Amino acid sequence: MALLEFTDRGIYCRRADVYIDPWKPVDRALITHGHADHARPGHGAYLSTEAAAPVIRLRLGDIALQTVQFGETRTINGVSVSFHPAGHIPGSAQIRIEYKGEVWVVSGDYKVTPDNLSETFEPVRCNAFISECTFGLPVFKWRPQVDVLSDINSWWRDNAADGRTSVLGAYSLGKAQRLLAGIDDGIGPIFTHGAVENTNAVLRSQGLSLPQTTQVTDEQQKKDYAGALVIAPPGALGSNWMRRFPKASTGFASGWMALRGVRRRRAVDRGFVLSDHCDWTELNEAIAATGAERIYVTHGYTEIFRRWLEERGYDARIVETEFRGDDLEEPAEGERTSA
């Protein structure tokens, strides 16, 4: 029997009787990070990293949540469980499961390039690696973060010179704060959608350094937004919420902006290619660093990526899950963080 199984409720360790990021209610859940497709309501008990816990509580409310530090080992029915930095967003983890010398690692969502915000990814040696492959095609190759942020600053600066508001779509947990931590806040004032600002408050309380931001409310006047940058969830860009910005240029920060068709369908003025997931090269490097021979790929270009890995000698298989991957469709209201 394999140490981890793939069930209709989620990835399951029968020996420890725990699930990892389950998508249906279970008694005990190990949670890699706070994004809504990985941290869901309804479980009896939760375990996450201490750094991920405040946002998980913000989104899920009063839950039975215990925490561990990165690298700390918990033993559950003889199975060793530990959480290791995934580099995806602050607090995000890979989960390592070991029993009698057999080691499996579940990646959750991850990226290997440091972003000056999240804990830096650490490869974990294992026998079997369950890896996302959201961007598992050679076409996905990320530019350095500093270059993308420079492009965003230039776009904002040009808009400000014309008296326009720059409205930038970005996932409210992780991507929004990554942008805030890296942009030039000297260009003008920064406003945020309530879903972003509520998350900012939680992460600031954990010691994360972010520039000053003001939540968008009905108390502000339209003139207050001239020359400002507004960061909002993707779903807000096409909603009635945008009516308060009469002279606006819209942008979207996502790895999917690398695809021309997606940029066109999003109907934004500018697309900025910035992802909290690995690109093609990084996926391959991360998998090689685990030393694993068995690779299970999930959510993304699974069939293409599986064939690629198989051609390179891996025992590669596809796992069907309910994880979504990147951040195209976060609702405007967010989870428990409405504006």
Say which residues have a Cβ less than 8 Å from residue 162's Cβ, sequence separation at least 6.
none
Task: Report the number of distinct structural domains present in the chain.
Answer: 2
Kindly state whether residues 169 and 263 are assigned to the same domain: yes
On whether the CB atoms of residues 110 and 121 are closer than 8 A, the answer is yes
Kindly state whether residues 245 and 283 are assigned to the same domain: no
What gap in Å lies between CA 178 and CA 93, rounded to an integer?
Answer: 17
Kindly state whether residues 13 and 133 are assigned to the same domain: yes
- Can you give the pLDDT at residue 334? 38
What gap in Å lies between CA 32 and CA 266, rounded to an integer?
Answer: 29
323 lies in some domain: no
> At which residue do the structure tokens 């095609």 appear?
137
> At which of 272, 293, 309 does a domain end?
272
What gap in Å lies between CA 45 and CA 190, rounded to an integer?
Answer: 38
Q: Identify the domain containing residue 179 by its residue range.
A: 145-272
Residue type, 310: E
What gap in Å lies between CA 143 and CA 187, rounded to an integer?
Answer: 23
Kindly state whether residues 37 and 119 are assigned to the same domain: yes
Residue 105 has pLDDT above 60, yes or no: yes
Kindly state whether residues 65 and 167 are assigned to the same domain: no
On whether the CB atoms of residues 305 and 136 are closer than 8 A, the answer is yes
- Across the chain, mean pLDDT equals 94
Kindly state whether residues 126 and 178 are assigned to the same domain: no
Task: Report the 10 Å Cβ neighbour count for 3.
Answer: 18
Q: For the whole model, what pTM was predicted?
A: 0.94
On whether the CB atoms of residues 119 and 91 are closer than 8 A, the answer is yes
Question: How many Cα neighbours within 13 Å face the side chain of 97?
Answer: 25
Kindly state whether residues 115 and 26 are assigned to the same domain: yes
What gap in Å lies between CA 244 and CA 248, rounded to an integer?
Answer: 9
Q: 255-305 pLDDT, tens per residue?
A: 999 998 887 888 899 999 999 999 999 999 999 999 999 999 999 999 999
What gap in Å lies between CA 281 and CA 288, rounded to an integer?
Answer: 11
Buried b (16+ CB within 10 A) or exposed e, 220-243: eeeeebbbbbbbbbbbbbeeebbe
Q: pLDDT category, 332, cuts 50, 70, 90? A: very low
134 lies in some domain: yes
Q: Which of 277, 169, 273 is nearest to 229 (CA)?
A: 169
What gap in Å lies between CA 175 and CA 276, rounded to an integer?
Answer: 7
CATH of the domain at 65: 3.60.15.10
Q: 140-157 pLDDT, tens per residue?
A: 999 999 999 999 999 999
331 lies in some domain: no
Q: pLDDT category, 337, cuts 50, 70, 90? A: very low
Residue 331 has pLDDT above 80, yes or no: no
70 lies in some domain: yes
Kindly state whether residues 150 and 187 are assigned to the same domain: yes
